Structure 1
Amino acid sequence: MSGASETRSPKPGALNGFEETVKDFWVSRPRRPYAGRKVAGVAAGIGQRYGIDPVVVRIALVVATIFGGFGLTFYLLAWLFLPGESDEVSGFEGLIGRGRSSVSPAFAIVLMILAVVFAAGAFAGSWFDGGGLIGFALIATALYLLHRSRGHENRPLPVTPRPSSTPFTGNGAFTMTDTAEAKSPAQGWDPLAADPAGWDLPDAPPEPPPAPSAPAHHAPGRRPRSKVGSATFGLAVLTAGGGVLANLNGASWFSAQHIVGLVLGVVGIGLVTGAFARGGRGLIGLAVPLAIAGMVLTTTPFQDFDFRGGIGDITESPRTTAEVQPVYQHAAGDIDLDLTKVAAGAPYTTTVTNGAGDTKIIVPQTADVTYDCSTAAGDARCFGRSTDGISQPALTGTDYGTDGPGGQQITLHVTTTAGSVEVRRG
């Protein structure tokens, strides 16, 4: 057999099972290159590894982010677990001390936190209607099939770890290390086989005067690392967190688009400061997606999204009019409100507001219900009437039930930013 056939890595085939393919993927996982990257080099690394256009990878991640939200989560995880082009290990492995990585431990922790936050949002839906789960399955399947078919190609070369000490090399005929022992003339070693007393050697030249100290210069082609980027990033995170907390405490002005605008303003100030301080160029990678997010939030129905109300499912079944809350508000999750068990009494009004999720309200058969139902993105079905799509007009009217006017008077205001709305009789 030739040397090439002996060193070439085997192609994953039918004899390799799922476990072997996953292990081989981890061992030969893509590396994030410096050339051709837009943010962290994830799409460029996957494209180079499996011989596909990185633009296709970027489009797939954008689609997965829009429909389900897992595309952004995957990008953050890949940034954390895929090593850089010249790194020994990934950012996560560097965090736990497995080797050298260009991702600092502090930034690796930030990536982990962001990945957990976005993953929680992507998997907020139920098992079957969660777009995040579908995106995760599609991305995982695509990577598995790519590695099965092209895993033997373009395998990255391992990065040699930096040596702890550099051995001393002589004239090429032999090598001496710091552990080598050499005998001194006092121990009887004479390389010329002559009496040392008879050697006539010239005197050593006088030492030259010390040269004046020159100002320190940085390596050519490399700029000194500036703290503008790190300081701006930290301030941007604090601004976003403060805006969300203010919204949760009732400051309705701090909506999603306003928070993005404030963070973008902080990043802009950092970019201007960095232009004078010769730093902060990495903030461009943060400013671009923020600008896109701000544009989307101000031109789509999601601009009215509210963070208040918590996350999860709400199931309520009041029995008296006093138990009916005037407002049911939720940030994300499903709301099920059953009003069929409320004893007849004085007229009452309730408002149901949901940020993202499905909202279902059931009213008695004989109640006289005045309603307005709307959803910014999704479908609304109220007493046999329906709308579907984005920015559709609200469904309004009064439904008297099966017995006509004269029943319990109920007024409903139902709004959902993203999800479905259903109001029907039980």
Structure 2
Amino acid sequence: MTTTPPEAPEDSEGPRVSGAEVRDLARLRRSTTDRKIAGVAGGLGRHLDIDPVIVRVLLVVLIFFGGAGLIVYAACWLFVPEDDAGAAPVRLDDRSRTVVLLLVGGLAVLALLSDVLGGSGGDDWWFLWPLLVVGLLVAWFVTRRDRRSAAATGGGPPAAAGPTAPLPAPRAPRRRGPLLLGFTLALIALAVGVLGTVDLAGASVPAATYPATALAVVGLMLVIGAFFGRAGGLILVGLLLLPVLGVASAADHSDGEDLLRVPATAAGLADAYRLNAGEMVIDLSEVSDLEELDGRTLTLDVDLGRIEVIVPAGLEVRGEAAVSGPGHIDLFGNEAGGIDTTLTSTSPDRDADAPLLRIDAEIGVGQIEMRTR
């Protein structure tokens, strides 16, 4: 008598997808069963083997950081098909879809860096629009080429069977065009050399112009490569240029200067001070007419760096500090740190009739300190 051995218990520990499967973006599908809008979060959660609720929360949070979450969601909605074999709104083959999703991921990272390092101003978005236009053009050309290829190979009725049916003449293999990588690198070197010459001649050329120009050349050659030649290696060059462009753009918005103000009178203190990047120090210990500061509000704003305020003994300061990115706050010994941190505190041990100055300090990334002397 034989018995069937018991089935091995399922492994309930460890991931249900391998690292190779996670990296294979061609497997990504939008969910038709776990969806709130387009099934993007459900599909990403299944692909990454995590709870879709976590993905939804993360996408919503990233919307407030340069719109990165919105970029990712919209791209997945447009290019990723559904899991019931339904076609995506923009049809691409697996390889082309993977490339587009990688480019979109790079754009999302740039949007995040632009918001965190460059502040929340709209000027920090300028370099994203050329990249977005180039990406849409590449996607449109690739989609158009795929549709023409499908029509050429699958269109028309099959040939009649039988010995008398003539066999179609074999098509000559399509000649492959020249490899465009070397030509593209030469064009990039020429364009960057021209920009450098203009810069040395005295014209102001922002740092981000160099990688942006190189990326525009790569995008143009990708479009040309969709019809003529081989664009092998250009996508890698474009992906390498994306973080360079993000850092250069952040550097353009950061002048790295320091600001020191030690006013001798209340009239010498402005109502607001602004700095892109660097250290701002406001020393009020030399103000001779502190009573003239009573009821005033001082606004301090730095994108990246440090703010320090020195308060004399005869002045009461009510400080309100906010750090939108990662940073630290120290207001008269009361401390707070983290991301998106706020703190309010008043200078201690002041007389009831001491003049009151309100200080609103805000920084993107860095440290805020208010102390007494």
The higher relative CO (CA closer than 8 Å, separation ≥ 6) is in 2
**Which TM-score tier does this pair reach, normalised by the shorter chain?**
0.3 to 0.5
TM-score (norm 1): 0.35
